[in-house]
Chains A and B, each alone.
Chain A
Amino acid sequence: KAGVTQTPRYLIKTRGQQVTLSCSPISGHRSVSWYQQTPGQGLQFLFEYFSETQRNKGNFPGRFSGRQFSNSRSEMNVSTLELGDSALYLCASSLSTFNEQFFGPGTRLTVL
């Protein structure tokens, strides 16, 4: 079966702009989580959506937001981009709670 897909794979933006990233989970999976990966901070949890509801939120500013649709696809939005937002953004899907998580290939965001 198809894995987790993320679009776009690469993005270049300038400071102050906003960006929307998309994640399509494995068919049947209801949980979608988002992570930010940087060389300095490693992998950090952004938020998780389950059945269209945000269930957990990490310690990120309000510029980072997300949503989940009825088909479990999820989007993440970052407004007023800063240079420090340059990172690999990873999406993970899971069948439900405490099940194995499967990650997508990520979206590489570069902020100039």
Chain B
Amino acid sequence: KQEVTQIPAALSVPEGENLVLNCSFTDSAIYNLQWFRQDPGKGLTSLLLIQSSQREQTSGRLNASLDKSSGRSTLYIAASQPGDSATYLCAVARGTGNQFYFGTGTSLTVIP
């Protein structure tokens, strides 16, 4: 069974700081990996999708990398803002279909 771990569980940083969130998975036979953010009591917002053949994806201040061989992905957030405060979740897909295995998330607080 695929296990997905996210470290740290919580992170508090001052505004403007660059930061890295980590995601590790036990089975490297994945098809893709997707990063989401979740605001309290809300659904998930897609941030970046990395296909298994890709090494990284970028969107604005976000950059996600994927290293299948080591079972790791990182989400880099540049110049953090208070609006970035949310829980960040990574999810990996394997097998047939769109079954995602989710990590437990990193709760990010950006202090003004």
Contacts and interface: CB of A to CB of B under 8 A. Distances in A.
Are A and B co-members of a single complex?
A: yes
Contacts of B32: 98
Interface residues of B, number: 26
A43 to B, nearest CB: 4
B97 A56 contact: yes
B98 A90 contact: no
B31 interface: yes
Contact of B98 (A44, A101, A104): A101
Q: Size range of the interface on A?
A: 20 to 34
Interface stretch (B18-26, B43-51, B70-78): B43-51
Interface string A66-108: 0000000000000000000000101010100111111111101
Contacts of A31: 97-98
Nearest to B1: A59
Q: Which of B51, B95, B99, B101 counts the most A-chain CB atoms under 10 A from its CB?
A: B99
B101 to A, nearest CB: 7
B63 interface: no
B28 interface: no
